[in-house]
Amino acid sequence: MCGIAGWLSGPQAPTAEPGALKAMVRALHHRGPDGQGLWLDGPAALGHARLSIIDLEGGAQPLANEDGRIQVSFNGEIFNHLELRERLVRRGHAFRTRSDTEVLVHLYEDLGDEFVHELNGQFALALWDGRRRRLVLARDRLGIRPLYYTVAAGRLLFASEVKALFALPEVERGFDAQGLAGTFTCWAPLAPRTVWQGVHCLPPGHLLTLQADAAPSGHQVRRYWDWPFQAREAGASAHPGWSDERWGDELRTLLLDAVRLQLRADVPVGAYLSGGLDSSIITTLVHRHTTTPLRSFSLRFADAEFDESDAQRALASHLGSRHSEVHVHQADIAGGFTRLVRHAEMPLVRTAPVPMMLLADHVRASGFKVVLTGEGADEAFGGYDLFKEAAVRRFVARAPRSRWRGRLLSRLYPYLAHSPAAAGAMAQGFFGTGLGATGQPHFAHMLRAATTRRILPLFSQAWRAQWPAHEPAALLGAVVPESFATWPALDRDQYVEAHTLMSGYLLAAQGDRAAMAASVEARFPFLDHRVVEFACGMPARLRLCGLHDKVLLRRAFAAELPAVIARRHKQPFRSPDAACFFDGGRLREPAAALLDPDALAEAGLFDPAAVARLVDKCARGRAIGFGDNMAFVGVLSTMALQAQFVGQGAPAVLAA
| All domains in the chain, ordered by first residue | 3-177+201-223 (3.60.20.10), 240-576 (3.40.50.620), 578-655 (no CATH)
Task: Give the span between the Cα atoms of 18 and 127, in whole angstroms.
Answer: 18
3-state DSSP percent of the chain in helix, strand and coil, to 5: 45, 15, 35
What is the Cα gyration radius of the chain?
24
In the predicted model, is pLDDT for residue 214 greater than 80?
A: yes
In the predicted model, is pLDDT for residue 553 greater than 80?
A: yes
Q: What is the mean pLDDT of residues 105-110?
A: 96
Task: Give the span between the Cα atoms of 425 and 46, in whole angstroms.
Answer: 60
Q: Residues 577, 630: contact at Cβ < 8 Å?
A: yes
The predicted-structure confidence for 588-622, as pLDDT tens digits, reads as follows: 999 999 999 999 999 999 999 999 999 999 999 88
Cα dist from 193 to 3, 24, 200, 262, 504, whole Å? 21, 21, 5, 30, 10
- Judged by DSSP in three states, 644 sits in helix
The strands making up 35-41's β-sheet, listed across from edge to edge, are: 35-41, 44-50, 3-9, 155-159, 148-152, 200-201
* Most confident of the following: 58-72, 122-136, 276-290, 569-583: 122-136
In the predicted model, is pLDDT for residue 190 greater than 90?
A: yes
Q: Catalytic pick from 2, 186, 201, 536?
A: 2
pLDDT score for 651: 46
Phi-psi region of 213 (alpha: psi -120 to 50; beta: other; left: phi over 0): alpha
Q: Residues 575, 352: contact at Cβ < 8 Å?
A: yes
Q: Residues 534, 377: contact at Cβ < 8 Å?
A: no
Measure the N-to-C terminal CA separation of the chain; round to a whole number of Å: 21
In the predicted model, is pLDDT for residue 648 greater than 70?
A: no
2 in active site:
yes
Task: Give the span between the Cα atoms of 509 and 521, in whole angstroms.
Answer: 14
Q: For the chain, what is the mean pLDDT?
A: 91
Q: Residues 520, 368: contact at Cβ < 8 Å?
A: yes
Task: Give the span between the Cα atoms of 554 and 550, in whole angstroms.
Answer: 6
Q: Residues of the chain with pLDDT > 90: what percent?
A: 74
Residues 6 or more apart in contact with residue 507 via CB below 8 angstroms: 142, 143, 144, 375, 524
Residues 6 or more apart in contact with residue 37 via CB below 8 angstroms: 47, 48, 50, 60, 61, 62, 73
Residue 374 binned pLDDT confidence (cut-offs 50, 70, 90): very high
